[in-house]
Amino acid sequence: MGRPGAATTLAGRHSVGGVLYGHGMTAAHGVQGTLDDLGTPLAGVTFVVVDLETTGGSPAESAITEIGAVKVRGGAELGHFGTLVDPGGPIPPFITALTGITQTMVTAAPRMEAVLPAFLEFARGSVLVAHNAPFDIGFLKAACAASGYAWPAFPIVDTVDLARRVLGRDEVPNCKLGTLARFFRAATEPTHRALADARATVDVLHGLIERIGSFGVTTLEELRGFAKAPTPEQRRKRHLADDVPSAPGVYLFEDPGGEALYVGKSGDLRSRVRAYFTGSETRRRVREMVGLAERVRTIVCATGLEAEVRELRLIAAYKPRYNRRSKFPERAIWMKLTVEPFPRLSIVRECRDDGAVYLGPMSSRQQAEDARAALHEAVPLRQCTQRLTLRLIERGRARACALADLGRCGAPCDGREPEEAYALHTAAARSVMRGDVRPVVAAAQARIDRLVSELRYEEAAAERDRLAAFVRAAARGQRLAALAGCSQLVAARPAFDGGWELSVVRFGRLAAAGTIPPHAHPRPYVDALIATAETVFAPAGGAPGGVPPGPGPAGGATAEEMECVLRWLDAPGVRLVEVDGVWSCPAHGAEGLRRRIDNAYVAPDPGDQGAARPLR
């Protein structure tokens, strides 16, 4: 006879359909079980469902702004706990927009070290439940460590794991709290406020336990093990990891036709691939992918950097359906100074070797729009989209826009600004985009100061955001351009075994990777690696047989690949062996300003929450 749903257990009922719960006896057999067999019945478990609001996503860099918790047992609420928390620093504007928690609201709130003892007492002896538990529990553990408290050994239940285990894609498109709350008709709508989200999670928990009851889960031990148990398909496919080596490299899950389903990297291929066939892998898409896979192909790499780069290249080449990131590097967004008699700034998705000046790549069109707006504040380029030619102007067919009447454009379209005068604006824009960002910073700072003096803080913050978008895009482009300009760069980094990791980079592309054993003379290994490295074209072309250049000014690699190389070069202990070219950033470039821009977001803002901090 089938077991009843967990909702029956939560309601405290003792018998349904001939099965007696909570006493270890069934009507069918009349046999008293032991307490060890029973575990802890769910009807008697005290759950504390907790939710946090924070200033960011990492406990190392962010702080808690609100705690909400609800204590339930047997389907009934026993109490709740909720308080704002002073994070000890500013709340980013996007967090305020998301949660509604402002700096003013937390000014009089207690600090975390005062709140933590009360919360730990409230949760004592219970099972902690959270939606995406690693996030909330990670912040709570970090708070305990910072306050000198030992983290209690709370049993943890993650409603995300449970939802991925029992709900199909035909029922819910994702496992976000808002989606699950609507699916289970939660009485409280999640609003990104801690106590409301905790109450919504309570209803989601009860709905999930009711579903899980059909699987015969009636105890806490079964509940915690259920989410982590591998699916039958995962168990059946475990043999795919049998021949995977224990080495750094890249792995590809392939379907019966040889199509790549998923590409990943790891420092230990065998350990990583085996994890896909255990209960620790709860992602629905990945479990679906494992069900389709028929083989795992591996590529052993000499270093972690080589594995990271190969992963990016394979994802871009195969575009596996189960990879979300890095599939379309060609879709990067750039800002372009067009090549025409009266150039303008255009946002494009493709770079060409057409003599134009490009800034980027940028992560979103919004960032590109903000960066363009910041540049327009400093250089009065035309902002219309019509293609101007001298013949069109001479015939009087070009029309001036409203910006000309406002004095923000010289109106070359109707002949008011001659080509020679407009060329000065073009030269200024070209200089800014190639390295000297001081005009943009000066213009933005002057406008921010004026807006702040007029108490127009929201407009000042928007201006700051536009400047930040420009500086970050320019800094990224200048770092990439510097690396792409080196025809060859050879560097070594200390390895864990006492030897060295060695990389050959040509025009920004990783051309070869290898290792030097401990105590070995490095020169023969360096020479051998250089001799066997792949040929890479310079951005302007090259000899046959090499790798063609990347799009636009990127050089021989994608921006993501070059950023992997730059992170590796920035690691402690890296030594440059050879550099053929000049590896440097412009003296008045954006790299030196990026930290000041970032500080403008983390330092306390004067006055209103939207106030912009000067960049001096």
Which residues in 479-493 are b (16+ Cβ under 10 Å) and which e?
bbbbbbbbbbbbbbb
Per-residue pLDDT, 26: 35
pLDDT band of residue 395 (cuts 50, 70, 90) is: low
Q: Is residue 495 part of a domain?
A: yes
| CA 227 to the chain's CA centroid | 25
524 pLDDT band, cuts 50/70/90, is very high
Residue 28 lies in a domain: no
Q: Report the DSSP pairing between strands 357-362 and 333-337.
A: antiparallel
pLDDT of residue 542: 37
Does 27 score more than 50 pLDDT? Answer: no
| Residue 305 neighbours by CB under 8 Å, 6+ apart | 501, 503, 510, 513, 564, 565, 568
Residue 48 lies in a domain: yes
Tell which of 204, 228, 252 closes a domain.
Answer: 228
pLDDT tier at 331, thresholds 50, 70, 90: confident
Please provide the average confidence, as pLDDT, over all residues in the chain.
81
pLDDT band at residue 40 under the 50/70/90 scheme: confident
Question: Where on the phi/psi map is residue 216: left (φ > 0), alpha (ψ -120 to 50), or beta?
Answer: left
Predicted confidence (pLDDT) at residue 519 exceeds the cutoff of 60: yes
* Predicted pLDDT at 117: 94
Q: Is residue 61 part of a domain?
A: yes
452 and 498 in a single domain? The answer is no
Same domain, 554 and 464: no
Examine the fold and report which residue of 183, 209, 228 is the final residue of a domain before the chain moves on. Answer: 228
Quick one: average pLDDT of 518-535? Answer: 92
Q: Which residues pair with 227 in a beta bridge?
A: none
Q: What average pLDDT does range 210-233 have in this prediction?
A: 80
- Does residue 410 surpass a pLDDT of 80? no
- Looking at the fold, whether 211 and 93 belong to one and the same domain comes out as yes
Do 302 and 336 reside in the same domain of the chain? no
Q: Give me the pLDDT at residue 581, please.
A: 85
Dmax over CA atoms of the chain, in Å, equals 102
Mean pLDDT of 97-121: 92
Residues 468 and 349 in one domain: yes
Domain end (from 198, 228, 258): 228
Q: How far apart are CA 331 and CA 363, in angstroms?
A: 10
Residue 568 maps to a domain: yes
Residues 298-322, mean pLDDT to the nearest whole number: 92
Residues recognised as catalytic: 192
Which has the closest alpha carbon to 260: 321, 326, 329?
321
Are residues 194 and 302 part of one domain? no
What band does 382 get if pLDDT is binned at 50, 70 and 90? confident
- Both 450 and 523 in one domain: the answer is no
Residues 350 and 378 in one domain: yes
Look-up: residue for tokens 């995977």? Answer: 244
Residue 585 has pLDDT above 50, yes or no: yes
Contact by Cβ (8 Å): 158, 132: yes
**Helix intervals (H) in 410-498:** 419-434, 438-453, 457-484
Q: Does a structural domain hold residue 148?
A: yes
552 in a domain, yes or no?
Answer: yes
Task: Name the token pair of 92.
Answer: 């980013």
Q: Cα–Cα distances in Å, from 296 out to 32, 232, 316, 520?
A: 48, 18, 19, 35
Confidence of residue 106 (pLDDT cuts 50, 70, 90): very high
The rounded distance, in Å, linking the Cα atoms of 225 and 49 is 19
pLDDT at position 216: 81
Q: Based on the fold, state whether residues 141 and 288 are members of the same structural domain.
A: no
Residues 102-123, mean pLDDT to the nearest whole number: 93
- pLDDT number for residue 195: 95
Q: Alpha helices of 361-401 — where are they, by DSSP H?
A: 365-378, 390-394
What domain range includes position 253? 232-327
Is 394 domain-assigned?
Answer: yes
Q: Which amino acid is at 544?
A: P
Q: Are residues 281 and 358 in the same domain?
A: no
Least confident stretch, 83-92, 150-159, 262-271, 580-589:
580-589
Residue 502 exposed, middle or buried by CB count within 10 Å (0-12, 13-18, 19+):
buried
Hey, which residues does 49 pair with through a beta bridge?
70, 129
- Domain CATH number, residue 118: 3.30.420.10
Residue whose C-alpha is closest to residue 23's, from 4, 46, 44? 44
Q: Work out the burial of residue 592: count CB atoms within 10 Å of its CB; fewer than 13 is exposed, 13-18 middle, 19 or more buried.
A: middle
pLDDT mean over 134-155: 92
**In which element (H, E) is residue 80 found?**
strand 76-84
Same domain, yes or no, for 270 and 360?
no
227, 220, 221, 226: which is closest to 47 by C-alpha?
A: 220
Tokens representing 540 are: 């302007």
- Letter string b/e over residues 361-391, b meaning 16 or more CB atoms within 10 A of that residue's CB: bbeeeebbbbbbbbbbbbbbbbebeeebeee
Q: What is the model's pLDDT at position 613?
A: 45
207 and 245 part of one domain: no
**Signed CA dihedral, 275, 276, 277, 279: sign only:** positive
Overall average pLDDT of the 141-168 stretch: 90
Angle in degrees, CA 329, 333, 536, rounded to 5: 45
Place 425 in a pLDDT band, splitting at 50, 70 and 90: confident
Across 49-70, average pLDDT = 93
Domain count, the chain: 4
Of 165, 108, 135, 130, residue with least CA distance to 50: 130
